[in-house]
Amino acid sequence: MERCSGAFGGSGSDHIRKRSRWTDRPAAEGTETAAAMDRVRSTFNNLIKSERYSRFTLQPAEDGERHVEVKLSDGDADDTTEVTTEVVGQDGGSPSFRPAPPRQSRRHIYFMALATLLIFVTGYLIGNISHRKVEPPNTEPGTTVSPVPVTPPRFVPVTPPPFVPAPDLPLQWKDIARLLTQKLSSQAFDESLRDFDRPRRSAGSVEDAALAIRISEEFEQLKMFPWTDVHYVQLQTPDSTRPNRVLFGSDVFEPAGYLAYSKTGTVQGKLVYGNYGRQEDLDVLQKKSIELKGSVLLLRRGKITFAEQVDNAERKGAAAVLIYPDSQDYNYQADTDLMDMYVHLGSGDPYTPGFPSFNHTQFPPTQSSGLPKIPAQTITANMSTRLLQNIGGPEADAISGFKGGFDSVSYRLGGIENVTVEVNNVLVNTKIRNVFGVIKGFIDPDRYVVLGAQRDAWGSGYARAAVGTSVLMELAKAVKEMVKNERFRPRRSIVFASWSAGEYGNVGATEWLEGYMSSIDKSVFTYISLDGIVMGRGSFTASASPLLHSLVENTMKRVKSPSSSGTLYDMMGQSNWEGNTLKPLSVDDPAYTFVAFSGIPAVSFHFTSPNTESYSYYGTNLDNMDHLNYQTNHHTSETTAAAAQFAGLMALRLVHNHLLSLDVTRYTDVVDAAVMPVYKRINQLVQSGQLKGVSSTWLSSARGSLKRAAESIGRTIENSDLENQKSCRTINDRIMRVERNLLSPVRVAYGDSLPPPPAGPRPPHAGVHRRGHGHEAAPRPAGPRHLEPAGVCSRHAGDSAGLQLLTTGTRSEERPEGRTESSRCRARLQRCGFPRPMAVSRAAELFNVRRWAAEPEGDGEREEKMERRGDARRCLTLQVVSQQGGKGETVGGREVGL
């Protein structure tokens, strides 16, 4: 078969050329030159001519060979090229051929030339620009400028976008509680308690300062943004050159202990035994015809605070007070001195009442009205035995509760022998430091729950200060670790505070409140005290604002008892837990200042031994690790861990929930329970004719206003979207104002005309809030007296206008029945820049108001004049008139101030 037959229809020996030029290699050498010329001509024609087509003719030659005749035509001329090729060695003329190089069109060549030119021009421009010298625009002739170095382009690797994990879901409450319980184990406190045990740590001492620095450094390591609040306060200490003395006959006693803020001086009087110095105890003495005026009262420690004992004695006209530990109440060595005491009936620095004790701050010379006007001194049990043996007078054994525990002594009431008391204490200006650390919230970082612990002590102060400080630091570590590693995201912030000068009446905490009141009471929604939380084992007590009662109950259900198999709730009687656990806040409770002075809900709690009210070694050098271990049956670490879990769970609950865990409805229950006895008492006095012109209508109105306000908050919560942060914040701010709005807007002080408290134990706040004063007492002697500004619930606090703040945020203009406001009062308020009376919620803070109560003027009218401290301008005069305009009546030595 011939090779070209399929393509052209001819024999296989045809020589074919299709579009491109086919070059035949001639068999004879003579034809090579002609063939070369033909190829040159064909190439030249292809370069200068446009696209051509070929005509093929197949003609037989005379010699029998076949030839292919190619005719190229461009429409103008018709060239014919005839190529004869003979294939050697093939019979029959079989052709041998090879194709010519591909044909190049002119358009293709033009494009190649243009591309070459472009590349050349581009390269030239790049080279010229990159190597050109850059000269400044204002270069003068003859000056040379160094060439600017050109940094070669740097290859920047393209990194893939980082992997973003899916957002973590927030922890549920049960997971939070489980994590905190695991981290606060008893093993963690074994080392911590030993670490914070100090032989001495008195306020303002070198040891106290070193401990403050260490706590601040630990907060810094935990990245808790620590800061220190420094105050310069007046602390009273014994005179090293002139000891305090008690002279009785030939005996001269020099006790090492003392009572801070006692009046100094030397007094002499008849020695009288007054049991615990309660109001009822002194009334018994007067019924027995024992003269108390000018006497020196010998009192047992216990039942009430030292400040209240001295205050009661002062009200009865006593000249001095001696306090001793009776063996019936305190089982320790007879020569043990009482050191951890103060008799200021209040809190904070008594020489800057209502003011912060900052350095170089100038204040008018003044002092707290809670300072005693008589000397007071502690003595040992041995010293008291000598006094009781020679006191004389009627026997006290027949009086219920008056006989003590000294078997060698026949208790008598005295009033026969003289005793001299000499107190030489001195005031020392002392620098104290409060240390703070904070774990910031993720949604409302400007709202805080504060956990605080006293750092100082006169002696070792193991139960008093070391346990609380240890719990404070372990809680900070546990919560910070949960935030860092366990995905815990608190909505609100937690502040950890280490206070100084707590032994002198919560001086550090009170000065902090006084210094930053304008912001604290709007930001802090709860205070949790860690002072004295472990006193024993087997029982549990708590003192709290009614807003926190539900939180205390729920937390007790989650914390395991350190002494039984159940929870604290089970240990304290379950349904009877409230009666077995809740106690009123006392004046010396660290949480009391926050409630009474600032209106901040607060709670303090204590693990105690059954049938005991307090830790017997408080205020002595015996408050150490050994005695506390004995008191807890060597389970101090386990009990401390349970206390830390209780405080921590309350704090985390408050910062975790959308709404604050403050139960407003619980407050209405407490108020109802306190108001009912008042109703009954009023009705009894009215029916007996002892009380005229007094109605309880205003009290009923105030009670109803509080109930309606609580119901309004409940409806708002039900109708709100709790996932909306703004809505939650608005509701929480209303709840925060509940406790603060129950403070007196006119700042009535301790000892004013108030109704007697209900019989028996009463819930906290069932009566009144008092700044620096815990319980009602008989009025002081008649006549003008100075009363310091006090955050208390006076009769004005029951006004429905004040309670209306809970629902509307504003005060109503209505006033309760039986109370009027004179035009003179309104005019003076405007002159002095005060708001209206019910809106003077911060008068004491802004103007540090003083008040004098004068004798009744006119028919049923009493004027109360308030002055701005410093310039003695009379700014506020309130007139309180009974409903029928009758003269105020007194009941049992008290004026009924409704």
Single out the residue in 380, 407, 424 at which a domain terminates: 424
Whether residue 445 is found in the same domain as residue 576: yes
Whether residue 416 is found in the same domain as residue 474: no
Residue 170 lies inside a defined structural domain of this protein: no
Whether residue 700 is found in the same domain as residue 653: no
The side-by-side arrangement of strands in the sheet containing 414-423 is 251-253, 245-248, 414-423, 265-273, 296-300, 320-324, 376-378
Distance between CA 513 and CA 790 in Å, rounded? 13
Cβ(807)–Cβ(713) under 8 Å? yes
Single out the residue in 45, 67, 99 at which a domain terminates: 99
Residue 738 lies inside a defined structural domain of this protein: yes
Pairing of strands 265-273, 296-300: parallel
Residue 419 lies inside a defined structural domain of this protein: yes
pLDDT at 364: 72
Q: How many residues are listed for the chain in this entry?
A: 898
> What tokens appear for 381 in the block?
């049990």
Whether residue 387 is found in the same domain as residue 300: yes
Rounded to the nearest 5 percent, the helix, strand and coil shares of the chain are 35, 20, 45
Residue 156 lies inside a defined structural domain of this protein: no
**Letter string b/e over residues 845-862, b meaning 16 or more CB atoms within 10 A of that residue's CB:** bebbbbbebeeeeeebbb
Residue 634 lies inside a defined structural domain of this protein: yes
Each residue of 179-196: pLDDT tens digit?
A: 999 999 999 899 999 999
Residues of the chain with pLDDT under 70: 1-37, 40-105, 128, 130-168, 340, 360-363, 745-898
Residue 777 lies inside a defined structural domain of this protein: yes
Give the residues across from 420 on adjacent strands: 247, 268
CATH number for the domain harbouring residue 576: 3.40.630.10
Q: Give the Å distances, CA to CA, from 38 to 34, 56, 81, 450, 608.
A: 6, 18, 8, 110, 127
Whether residue 655 is found in the same domain as residue 670: no
The sign of the CA dihedral 748, 753, 758, 759 is positive
| 289 exposure class (CB count in 10 Å sphere: 0-12, 13-18, 19+) | exposed
Whether residue 768 is found in the same domain as residue 824: yes
Whether residue 743 is found in the same domain as residue 771: yes
pLDDT at 458: 85
The sign of the CA dihedral 687, 693, 694, 696 is positive
Whether residue 677 is found in the same domain as residue 736: yes
Single out the residue in 640, 660, 680 at which a domain terminates: 660
Whether residue 315 is found in the same domain as residue 414: yes
Pairing of strands 861-868, 873-881: antiparallel
What's the total number of domains in the chain? 4
Residue 229 lies inside a defined structural domain of this protein: yes
Whether residue 553 is found in the same domain as residue 696: no
Residue 162 lies inside a defined structural domain of this protein: no
Angle, alpha carbons 600-601-603 (nearest 5°): 130
Q: Give the Å distances, CA to CA, from 458 to 258, 350, 510, 581.
A: 11, 19, 19, 30
Angle, alpha carbons 279-280-285 (nearest 5°): 100
Whether residue 568 is found in the same domain as residue 678: no
Distance between CA 402 and CA 273 in Å, rounded? 9
Distance between CA 519 and CA 523 in Å, rounded? 6
Look at the block and give the residue holding tokens 């008290």.
Answer: 894
Cβ(463)–Cβ(619) under 8 Å? no
**Letter string b/e over residues 810-824, b meaning 16 or more CB atoms within 10 A of that residue's CB:** ebeeebbebbebeee
CATH number for the domain harbouring residue 404: 3.50.30.30
Range of the domain at 40: 5-99
Whether residue 640 is found in the same domain as residue 537: yes
pLDDT at 613: 74
